[in-house]
């Protein structure tokens, strides 16, 4: 039996170190740890799909939690069943009650396991949806207060004004003016527009 680990974080701003440490404690070799920095809304993830291609009957995949596997109930249940049908064992550190086992003949145990799995997968999906709703509400609230979202807007600086003046007087080219201003082409022309409207 070969043991693998799958680690997923939702975006690049999050940190996978805690999950990596968990897998080290499990004794899983670094080369057998698959790390993904993607949303769990679907299973079209490169590392996850690669792992599915590599595992064989009798192997085990360790997850920190069912939420690391996926966050959509229907698809997560489908993936879970695929592993079971192919004889691949699944271990969930935080939800050991849904770990697969070789004792699949225990009908009652398997039925209870499926119920628990369904409930956990449903909560994972609800949590993802609630997070999206909170994010959208936060954006709307910020906009209502007149707050600018995203990257800070570049303001007109003395360097820009100097470059702009020379450019207007045709002493330098636009490319040179942009270089002196230390801004992008798009930002340069946006600032030009703002300056002309003053």
What is the spatial distance between Cα 20 and Cα 7, in angstroms, rounded to a whole number?
A: 7
Beta carbons of 186 and 193 less than 8 angstroms apart = no
Specify the higher pLDDT residue, 132 or 40: 40
pLDDT tens digits, 70-102: 888 889 999 999 999 999 999 999 999 889 865
pTM recorded for the entire structure = 0.60
Write out the two tokens for 175: 């490319």
Give the pLDDT score at 106. Answer: 62
Q: Which domains does the chain have, with CATH numbers?
A: 3-128 (3.40.50.1390), 158-197 (no CATH)
Cα atoms in the 13 Å half-sphere on the side-chain side of 81: 10
d(CA 58, CA 66): 20
Q: Rounded to an integer, what distance in angstroms lies between the CA atom of residue 28 and that of residue 71?
A: 24
Per residue in 144-198, pLDDT (tens digit) is 666 655 555 667 788 888 888 888 888 888 888 888 888 888 888 888 887 765 5
Give the residue from 154, 90, 146 showing the smallest Cα distance to 121.
90
Question: Residue length, the chain?
Answer: 198
d(C-alpha 88, C-alpha 97), whole Å: 17
Of all residues in the chain, what percent carry a pLDDT higher than 90? 35
Catalytic machinery residues: 10
Kind of pairing between the strands at 60-63 and 33-37: unpaired
User: Is the model more confident about 161 or about 21?
Assistant: 21
Q: Largest alpha-carbon pair distance within the chain?
A: 85
Distance CA 198, CA 195 (A): 5
Q: Identify how many contiguous H helices and E strands the chain contains and give both numbers.
A: 8, 4
Query: Alpha carbon of 96 to those of 54, 108, 137, 187: distances in Å?
Result: 24, 17, 35, 53
* Location of structure tokens 């909560």: 123
Question: Residue 130: how many CA atoms within 13 Å on its side-chain side?
Answer: 6
What is the reported pLDDT for 79?
Answer: 93
């Amino acid at each position: 039996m070969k043991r693998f680990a799958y680690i997923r974080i939702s975006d690049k701003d999050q940190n996978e170190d805690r999950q990596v440490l968990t897998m080290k404690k499990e004794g899983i070799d670094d080369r057998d740890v698959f790390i993904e920095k993607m949303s769990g809304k679907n299973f079209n993830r490169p590392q996850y799909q690669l792992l599915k291609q590599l595992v064989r009957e009798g192997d085990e995949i360790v997850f920190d939690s069912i939420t690391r596997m996926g966050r959509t109930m229907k698809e997560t249940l489908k993936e879970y069943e695929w592993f079971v049908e192919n004889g691949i064992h699944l271990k969930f550190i935080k939800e050991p009650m849904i770990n697969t086992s070789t004792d699949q003949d225990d009908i009652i145990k398997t039925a209870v396991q499926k119920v628990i799995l369904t409930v956990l997968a449903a909560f994972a999906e609800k949590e993802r949806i609630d997070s999206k709703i909170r994010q959208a509400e936060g954006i709307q609230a910020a906009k209502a207060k007149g707050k600018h979202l995203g990257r800070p807007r570049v303001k007109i600086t003395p360097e820009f004004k100097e470059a702009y003046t020379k450019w207007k007087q045709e002493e330098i080219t636009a490319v040179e003016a942009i270089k002196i201003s230390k801004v992008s082409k798009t930002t340069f022309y946006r600032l030009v527009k703002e300056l002309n409207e003053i």
